[in-house]
Amino acid sequence: MKGFIHSFESFGTKDGPGIRFVFFMQGCPLRCLYCHNPDTWKINNFAFEKTAEEAFQEVSKVKNFIRSGGVTVSGGEPLLQTEFVLELFKRCKEAGIHTAVDTSGYLLNEKIKSVLDYTDLVLLDIKHINPEKYLKLTGKPLTPTLHFVDYLMETNIPTWIRYVLVPGYSDDEADLHAWANYVSSLSNVKRVDILPFHQMGRQKWKRLGINYALKTINPPTSESIRLAESIFRQYHLPLG
Supply the DSSP string of 42-65, one letter for each residue: SGGG-SEEEEHHHHHHHHHTTTTT
pLDDT at 108: 98
| 206 within some domain | yes
Helix (H) or strand (E) holding 3: strand 2-12
> Domain range for residue 78?
2-234
pLDDT at 201: 81
| 240 within some domain | no
Cα–Cα distance, 132 to 126 (Å, whole number): 14
Cα–Cα distance, 1 to 49 (Å, whole number): 10
| 58 within some domain | yes
User: Which residues, listed in sequence order, are joined to residue 193 by a DSSP beta bridge?
Assistant: 162
> The CATH number of the domain where 47 resides is what?
3.20.20.70
| 116 within some domain | yes
| 239 within some domain | no
| 188 within some domain | yes
Calculate ∠ Cα 11-16-20, nearest 5°: 25
CB distance 101 to 73 below 8 Å: yes
pLDDT mean values, one per 10 residues, the chain (240 residues): 93 93 97 94 93 96 92 97 98 97 98 98 98 98 98 98 97 98 98 94 89 94 98 97
CB distance 46 to 87 below 8 Å: no
- 76: nearest Cα among 48, 118, 98, 111: 48
Q: 87 in helix, strand or coil?
A: helix
Taking the model in full, what pTM does it have?
A: 0.95
pLDDT at 114: 98
CB distance 83 to 30 below 8 Å: no
Full DSSP string of 149-167: HHHHHHHT--EEEEEEE-T
Number of domains present in the structure of the chain: 1
| 39 within some domain | yes
pLDDT at 34: 94
pLDDT at 200: 84
Full DSSP string of 5-32: EEEEEEEESSSSSSSEEEEEES--S---
pLDDT at 11: 87
